[in-house]
Amino acid sequence: MLQVIAYYIALPFIYLISLLPYRLMYIISDLIYLLLYRLLGYRKNMVLKNLRLSFPEKTETELQNIARKFYHHLCDLLLETFKTLTVSKKSMLAHCTMSIDAQKLFEEIAAQNKSLILVMGHQGNWEWGGNSFSLLCPQQLYVIYHPLQQANFNQLISHMRGRFGTKLIAMNDTFKEMVRNRKEITATAFIADQSPFPENAHWTNFLHQDTPFFTGTERISTKLNYPVVYLFIRKVKRGYYQLEAEMLVENPSKMEEGTITEAYVRRLEKDIRTQPETWLWSHNRWKHQRKVSKI
């Protein structure tokens, strides 16, 4: 009941923010930054711990600077997500573009009458990235997601993500729905850098730490033999992003176990090092430890 009340209290403010001019929206974001970072220190210890372990070669001053930039980006990301509720197609495409090479790659795959799998991380603005992909690319975009427990908020997020044609697939239904959609030319997006259960994960060194990764993306791509394309949402400047893509694996069914996941991890790691402030450092990514079997 409290969650329902919170939804109806929050909804008018979300709509109001979505209607604001960008300049005013980012002024509000700066105020939220002061509250979140300076006053409340939201997950500040977690963020700095993650940064120190991931970049042992950097000085404390450099790490603090990345942390400040990250919190600015996090606040922008929150309000930019609200913006998707009412943003026009023209404005969306002005603020989130796609590189010429990426556009060409997706058109070439569609011309071959092939569906594909997109792999990406929680970097840049993945909400805007999904919207722009649906507006620019010939594939029907499906995004794998975790449904929210609160039905009203889940419906709101689904509406925001689907305004320009993106469709959602609940994580538990992924393979079944992908098989059902095989007659379409699709792009199914996996944001694959979340923390899985350690028992069935692929373990590897990621940002200097022993890290588990989901194997579902690899298993599904191998079974369906869909090309795997890596998508990076580069932050060009405040309020502006560009989608960049490259073919990661063209024929997954021919790859050895673990190869696809490793290729994704190495590519993601490269982009995090390129723009560390735009990755989701507030997530407790390294909460699990590998269990060592006793002999």
Residues of the chain with pLDDT under 70: 292-295
- The DSSP annotation for 191-210 comes to E--S---GGGSEEEEETTEE
As a whole number, the mean pLDDT across the chain is 95
Q: Could you report the per-residue pLDDT of 199-252, keeping only the tens digit for each?
A: 889 999 999 999 999 999 999 999 999 999 999 999 999 999 999 999 999 999
Radius of gyration of the chain (CA): 19
Q: Would you list the domain boundaries of the chain? A: 2-278
CA distances from 282 to 162, 194, 287 (A): 26, 12, 12
Residue 143: count other Cβ atoms within 10 Å of its Cβ: 22
Question: The tokens 């913006």 sit on which residue?
Answer: 83
Tokens of 65: 């600077």
User: 208's torsion region: left (phi>0), alpha (psi -120 to 50) or beta?
Assistant: left
User: What's the pLDDT score for residue 293?
Assistant: 58
- 51-72 pLDDT per residue, tens: 999 999 999 999 999 999 999 9
Q: How far apart are CA 6 and CA 2, in angstroms?
A: 6
Q: Give the separation between CA 41 and CA 37, rounded to whole angstroms.
A: 5
pTM of the predicted model as reported, rounded to 2 decimal places: 0.94
